[in-house]
Each structure stands twice: as structure tokens, then as C-alpha cells.
Amino acid sequence: MSTTIDSAVKVERRAGLWIVRLDRPKANVIDAAMTEALRRVFVEARETTDLKVVVLSHSGPHFSFGASVQEHLPDTVADMLRGFHGLFRAIAASGVTVLAAVRGQCLGGGLELASFCQRVFAASDAKLGQPEIVLGVFAPVASLVLPERIGRAAAEDLCLTGRSVSADEAHRLGLVDELAPDPEAAAIGYANEHLLRHSATSLAHALEALRSRYHERFFAELDRLEAHYLQELMATHDASEGIRAFLEKRTPTWSNA
């Protein structure tokens, strides 16, 4: 059974498994509406006792171009950031194993979302990156997730350069766990072969054992980085300049202040 939530997210419910698709192609921009729709899905997932796996996928050729740049403007950035970080809290609290299926561009907040999953499947055409620095800002979630997933040196490379990497390079780095022509089918196949035969309750307890201390550190640090972003970064000239330059389709003029 498929349902649409706020025309931003589609959920296909199967026995023990949901396929959750970002559903605003082609860009699948993660704006406030999509963030809230996804948060509601994971709140429902937490309350669904026989759910074992969520496959986080997408409609259209691209996983996501990232979070809404428009919502990074000073009047909306606080609500945007707190809402987006609340989504990660809902995912962590759901107690459900989440597998990401990525084709095309997977950038910014899209990559943060995929990287937080237990396993990432990607097609050969995937391009993954954290381009926030190009806009004069940084990525709080990626700053915490990527060092855990791919090591500090590789995480610093992606976050400080803003470059995108191919699926092959992402696989070598460990950013992608498995390459597949159809990553959604591969994620479902992995769930069918390795996860769905287990107890939903036992999987949830195993996931808690694996991630509880990590989540404790992660969310404490995320609170700190969120405050730093809103109170210090957004007080600078260059953060606002980078966002406005992107929206105005021009090269930013950095003041280095």
C-alpha cells in the first residue's frame, strides 16, 4: 500500500518493511514541508511494532539536491535548522534499521540524511557531496556523521572543499556500502536476505546497543553546532552573502568576515 504525506513523501508499506521515497523530483529539495513529512513517518515507524526496516529512496533521477537554500536566509534559518535536526532525532528514536538507496545527485542535507542510515546503496551515476562551504556555511550533521563513517581526513576533504565524489570514489571511502544498478532493489534484497527474518523487537534492541552511546554524543554535539551556526556563523557577513549570491545566481563577494 502506498500513501502520500503532504505531497512531499510517499510511503509504500510491506510486511516488516517500508519504502519511503522523497517525492518532489527532480531535485527533491528537503524543505520544511518535506522535513516534517519525513519526521512524521519516523514517528509512525516508532509506533509500528512489526516494522523492521525502512528503505529511504526517492522518486526521479536524483536522491536530493539538499536542504532548501531559500530557508537558509536569516528570517527562516533557525526554524529550518531546528526542524532538520529534529528529523534526525526522530530517525534515531524510531528504533528501525534504515537503508538508503541513492541515484543521481545526493548533496548537502541529502547526503547527511543518507549517511545517517545504517547502510547506503548507490547506483554508478551517483554523485555525493557536502557543498555547504561553497555557500559560506557549514554542515552540522555532516561534521559529526562523516568522520564516524569515513574517517576524519576524508570527512575534512569533503566538508572543506565542497567537492562531489563519484559513486566509485564514495564506495572506496566507505561513504557508500554497496554499488548496484538498482540501489532500491538492492536495499530491499539486503533487507529480505539479512534482516526481515529477525524479530523487530530484537533488531530494535540490537540497534540501540550499537548506537546508543554514539547518539548520545552525536545529539549533544549537534546542539552545540546548531547554536554555533545560528549565533556565530549567521552573524558573519559571508554566510549571508554566500546564500544570497547562490539565490541571485552570481559569484559571492567574500569579505572574509
Assess contact for 28 and 110: CB atoms under 8 A: yes
Closest CA to 184 of 55, 62, 27, 15: 55
Of 191, 217, 195, give the one whose Cα is nearest residue 206.
195
Model-level pTM?
0.96
What's the CATH code of the domain at 90? 3.90.226.10
On whether residue 195 sits in a domain, the answer given is no
Give the residue numbers spanning the domain of 51: 2-181
Specify if 198 maps to a domain. no
Instruction: With respect to residue 257, please indicate whether it lies within any of the assigned structural domains.
Output: no
Q: Give the number of domains in the chain.
A: 1
Whether residue 216 lies inside any domain: the answer is: no
φ, ψ of residue 253 in degrees (nearest 5): -110, 105
In order of 50, 65, 124, 256, the CA distances from 44 in angstroms are: 12, 26, 33, 45
Question: What is the rounded CA–CA span in Å between residue 100 and residue 58?
Answer: 9
**Cβ partners under 8 Å of residue 140, min gap 6:** 81, 85, 222, 225, 226, 229
Q: Could you read off the pLDDT of 3-55 as tens digits, one per residue?
A: 655 679 999 999 999 999 999 999 999 999 999 999 999 999 999 999 999 99
pLDDT in tens, 111-167: 999 999 999 999 999 999 999 999 999 999 999 999 999 999 999 999 999 999 999
Tell me if 61 sits within 8 A of 23, measured CB to CB.
Answer: no
What is the tens place of the pLDDT at every residue in 75-91? Answer: 999 999 999 999 999 99
Instruction: Please tell me the distance from the alpha carbon of residue 237 to that of residue 249, in angstroms, as a whole number.
Output: 18
